[in-house]
Structure 1
Amino acid sequence: MIDNWLDIALAQLGKKYRSSGAFVAFVMNASQKQPVNQTGDWSSEIIDLTHEVYQISPVPESSPGDLLFWGIAQQPYSVGIYVGGAHYIAVNEKDATVQVQTLTHNWYPTFSGSTS
């Protein structure tokens, strides 16, 4: 497995994606991280991403590279990649561009999913 997801994600800064799921799927597939189902590539559908991580955990237990989800597990509406130190990389909901963002009280994920 190639562990270059951060380089790949950072190379996407400022680029536009149709959804947060499409961005995360691109990074995971390009870095060759395998989804838990091992049947193919990571999906760009956010609900599918929740089934492709190894373990769902509370956000404070997140490690760099884990996926952060907003919404309930049965119907998440946004996803990003945790960098560490209260930062994550995701598609900005306002302009559809990839940005490094900071976790805040007003925009805090509901759960995380381990990618390894």
Structure 2
Amino acid sequence: MAGKWLDVALTQLGNSYHSSSAFVAFVMNTSKIGTNNKNSLWSPTLIDLVHEVHDLKKIETARPGDLLFWGKPDHPYSVGIYVGGKHFISVTEKDAMVKVQILNDNWYPEFVGSVF
């Protein structure tokens, strides 16, 4: 199931977004993936994205297609889409471009949001 929105995310490589949450909302809405709340559209606001996922869990249980969040559930500051193998797709802090990135100890997500 993750394949569809991962494919959409990959088509955005090199594009610019004003925030990581705007990128994730675009991918989810383009893929027509429903949210956990009554509104069927994903919000480009980070705190709303946390509330729109179906389940929050620890990073060790991440599966491809899950949303990776940096920060605390009540105060996230970045989000990306987990690809697998310690890779994720997100907007870089440096140049606001969508890139495949590698998880590392210097910048590791705090929690995961399951989409299904």
Classify the secondary structure of the residue corresponding to 2:9.
helix
Unaligned runs of 5+ in 2: none
Instruction: Please report how far the alpha carbon of residue 3 of structure 1 lies from its aligned counterpart in structure 2 after TM superposition.
Output: 4.9
Within 2, Cα distance between the matches of 1:49 and 1:6? 17
How does the TM-score come out when normalised to structure 2? 0.96
CA RMSD of aligned residues (A): 1.3
Matches within 5 A, 1:33-44: 33-44=33-44
**CA shift digits 1:3-60 (9 cap, x unpaired):** 5111110000000001000000000011111111132200000000000000000001
Residue matched to 1:102: 102
- Percent sequence identity over matched residues? 57
| 1:111 paired to 2:111 | yes
Matches within 5 A, 1:1-116: 3-116=3-116
Are the counterparts in 2 of residues 2 and 32 from structure 1 also a CA contact under 8 Å? no
Unaligned runs of 5+ in 1: none
Within 2, Cα distance between the matches of 1:97 and 1:3? 21
How does the TM-score come out when normalised to structure 1? 0.96
**Aligned length in residues:** 116
Within 2, Cα distance between the matches of 1:54 and 1:79? 15
